[in-house]
Amino acid sequence: MEDLFLKANKIVEENNETPPKDRYRLNYHLMPSKGLLNDPNGFIFYRGKYHIFYQWNPFACEHGSKFWGHFVSDDLCDWKEIEPALTPDTKYEKNGCYSGSAFEHNDELYLFYTGNVKHSNGSRDSYQCLAKSKDGIKFEKLGPVIDGPPQGYTKHFRDPKIWKKENTWYMVIGAQTKDEQGRVLLYTSIDLKKWEYKKEIAGSQINGLSEFGYMWECPDFFELGGADILLVSPQGIEENGDKYNNLYQTGYFIGDYGWKNNKFNHGEFFEMDRGFEFYAPQTTIDSQGRRLLFGWMGMPEMDDEPTKKDGWIHAMTLPRELDYKNNKIYQKPVEELKKLRKNKIEYHEIKVKEELSLDGIEGDSYELIIEMSAIEGRSGIRVRTSETEKTDIYIDVENKKLIFDRNQSGEGYRGIRKCDLERVDRLKLHIFMDRSSIEIFVNDGEEVFTSRIFPSKKSQGVVFYSLEACKLDKIRYYKI
């Protein structure tokens, strides 16, 4: 039998030796050397290094039998891809080592993930499995510790996220009831081997929520700034105005968890990101106590992207730090990303009427921070412009909205995404452009738009514009 691990690892090694140079390849984001990447998994700071694993099909640009690919970094900035951590070569995971999380125990690194098994009659099984490593590189599989869901749930039972509180291990997991309501279940364990099902902590049609999706994937549960946060990716939510416009959603509930009665009192669902490609994020807490997040810059079933011609598809977002204030989560790019900055260009106090380009501000790989005020009428910025292409980000003053428009961005999916703004007379945009991706942090992370765009190489322009008037108070640009 061919050795799947060796075959996948060869792809990693070849990519490290001779990185390909295709035009949409990202310059400073994590992406697969070949094949398909989806969810970030096992994000952890272990023995002085950050580890991020990812759902990986090394052999095709489609979803299939997933491996766990593995990147390691000292600083969240320079990453090295090492050998895959998990290979789907055992019967309880023969159709994929699906998503999960990592934790440290007795100085060893453990992975807790879903073994996915599909049967020829279309049915499936899901096992929750453990693996561990002494060096953080080579993992020994310990096999399943949970064989299937509790009574009343389907086999859509996956993506365990684990943490320790006092002497107890806790786990949240995505689930679906037999009548197709998405739920998050909570388990506990004392010894990591025997797991006890406690209760549903949130889901469609419970805790005051109405019908809210048929399956909830990739839950994450943590404390942030005094609040308990459930981050989750529900499937099957109806579009509602500018909300829930993507095929599947990712967002969070803020609440208060009663550890004695295991009851989660929570409020409404907030969408985490307003762009087109953002799903299944996962957080960790690092040695500085920061709550950090990676998301998947992709969407299930939206796999018609032009990079497939070059043998790869999808990527990871930049690492972000989360903060809780004003009853919401703020996201900002991690501090360490400043190391990527080259050639600073700065401008101050520029009036914009109609259109304006600024010397030196252009390209396809940069960081751009724009502080605008005195905004009257539609005002914004177009990036990756040429005669035929543009990606437009602007304020719609009348409707108090920020709009991201990729209808003329180039190849790939098109469309518009919007979010409400409280104030439209001023705006701060922090943009990371990376060849075929864009992340826009709005007003210091109050909202974020994450999307892929596929402009041609010649589309390198940046245009500031206003249909009436606005002022650019401060512009900072760094080539990356």
Of residues 19 through 38, those in contact with ligand FRU by CB under 6 A are 38
If one asks whether residue 99 binds ligand FRU (CB under 6 A), the answer comes out as yes
State residue 443 phi and psi, 5-degree precision.
Answer: 45, 60
Residues 6+ apart with CB under 8 A from 37: 30, 31, 54, 55, 56, 69, 296, 298, 312, 313, 314, 315, 316
- Locate 209 and state its tokens: 């929520």
Catalytic residue among 22, 39, 74, 89: 39
Q: Output 98 or 252, the one with its CB closest to ligand FRU.
A: 98
379 DSSP assignment: E
Q: Output 33 or 128, the one with its CB closest to ligand FRU.
A: 128
State residue 426 phi and psi, 5-degree precision.
Answer: -150, 160
Q: Are 412 and 234 in contact (CB under 8 A)?
A: no
Q: How far apart are CA 230 and CA 219, in angstroms?
A: 7
Q: Output 101 or 459, the one with its CB closest to ligand FRU.
A: 101
Of residues 383 through 412, those in contact with ligand FRU by CB under 6 A are none
If one asks whether residue 114 binds ligand FRU (CB under 6 A), the answer comes out as yes
Q: Are 452 and 297 in contact (CB under 8 A)?
A: yes
Options 267, 300, 363, 461; binder of ligand FRU; rule CB under 6 A: 300
Q: How far apart are CB 179 and ligand FRU at their closest, in Å? A: 20
Q: How far apart are CB 38 and ligand FRU at their closest, in Å? A: 5
Q: How far apart are CB 341 and ligand FRU at their closest, in Å? A: 32
Binding characters for ligand FRU, 34-73, by CB under 6 A (x = yes): ----xx---------------x----------x-------
Q: Are strands 391-396 and 401-405 parallel, antiparallel or unpaired?
A: antiparallel
Q: Output 70 or 158, the one with its CB closest to ligand FRU.
A: 158
Q: Is 47 exposed, middle or buried (0-12, 13-18, 19+ CB in 10 A)?
A: exposed
Q: Output 218 or 438, the one with its CB closest to ligand FRU.
A: 218
Binding characters for ligand FRU, 229-248, by CB under 6 A (x = yes): --------------------
Q: How far apart are CA 38 and CA 56, in angstroms?
A: 7
If one asks whether residue 217 binds ligand FRU (CB under 6 A), the answer comes out as yes
If one asks whether residue 154 binds ligand FRU (CB under 6 A), the answer comes out as no
Does 39 qualify as catalytic in the annotation? yes
Q: Output 38 or 391, the one with its CB closest to ligand FRU.
A: 38
- Locate 323 and state its tokens: 């903060």
Q: How far apart are CB 114 and ligand FRU at their closest, in Å? A: 6
Three-class SS state of 354: strand
Closest CA to 381 of 420, 410, 348, 355: 355
* CA distances to 237, 353, 471 from 468, in Å: 38, 6, 11
Q: Output 97 or 381, the one with its CB closest to ligand FRU.
A: 97
If one asks whether residue 159 binds ligand FRU (CB under 6 A), the answer comes out as yes
Options 192, 218, 292, 433; binder of ligand FRU; rule CB under 6 A: 218
* CA distances to 99, 115, 202, 206, 231 from 174, in Å: 10, 14, 10, 15, 11
Interacting residue ranges for ligand FRU, rule: CB under 6 A: 38-39, 55, 66, 98-99, 114, 158-159, 217-218, 279-280, 300
Catalytic residues, by residue number, are: 39
